[in-house]
A and B are shown apart, each in its own frame.
Chain A
């Protein structure tokens, strides 16, 4: 089983719908992140959390919200999806040591299509 699990792996939805992407990890890491991947743009940070009570915006947080339900769970919500949020979304984790160097451990991604 994967150490960082994302659900759903694929989702097609319509404009205006609310969508939640979920991430759970068994690595015991404190830090969790949501990234978005678009062709030609690489990965961009949406939100990150260093522990359950700590939530921080990344460079492209507009239109997104997150919830850190437990150390092992970090969910990303799109309150009202729009077509330009069509992308591949990655959850990532790091621990105190790896987090202090920027090394990340990734899930397999959630492909979201907004029609």
Chain B
């Protein structure tokens, strides 16, 4: 069965510093991988996704993630964060099981400090 582990529940970082939010998954079959962002009092929106092809995926707002099949990881990175990046970030995985149900990690709360 698939599962998703986000290794950090909270990540504080100063503005303009780089950040990495870590995500590991477990699955016995091929997967699709996603990062969603949730700003305060809003729903989730897609940040980026890996379906196939290049393992380095670029998303909105300067974020990128790298799929590492051998380490079953999909870490999210941004070279320089802004105050407006403060939000909760969810890693999600889906695998072909007849329904493509999506499983979410517990979330990582990113705090960007001035």
Contacts and interface: CB of A to CB of B under 8 A. Distances in A.
Query: Considering residues B32, B41, B93, B100, which has the most beta carbons from chain A within 10 angstroms of its beta carbon?
Result: B100
B43 A102 contact: no
B101 A58 contact: yes
B94 A40 contact: no
Given A45-B101, A108-B42, A102 B32 contact: yes
Interface string B1-43: 0001010010000000000000000000000101010000111
B55 interface: no
For chain A, give the interface size range. 20 to 34
B83 interface: no
B59 to A, nearest CB: 13
Contact of A109 (B43, B51, B92, B102): B43
A108 B43 contact: yes
Contacts of B46: 103-105
A22 B69 CA distance: 39
Nearest to A111: B41
A6 to B, nearest CB: 8
A106 B88 CA distance: 15
A4 B49 CA distance: 20
Interface string B62-96: 00000000000000000000000000001011100
Contacts of A102: 32, 34, 92-94, 100-102
A1 B32 CA distance: 30
A108 B93 CA distance: 21
30 contacts: A4-B43, A35-B104, A41-B106, A42-B4, A42-B104, A42-B105, A42-B106, A42-B107, A43-B104, A44-B104, A45-B101, A45-B102, A48-B99, A50-B99, A90-B44, A99-B100, A100-B100, A101-B32, A101-B51, A102-B32, A102-B34, A102-B94, A102-B100, A102-B102, A103-B102, A104-B44, A105-B46, A106-B43, A106-B44, A107-B43
Interface of A: 4, 35, 40-45, 48, 50, 56, 58, 90, 99-109
Given A50-B99, A56-B99, A102-B100, 8 more contacts: A35-B104, A42-B4, A42-B6, A42-B104, A42-B107, A102-B32, A102-B94, A105-B46
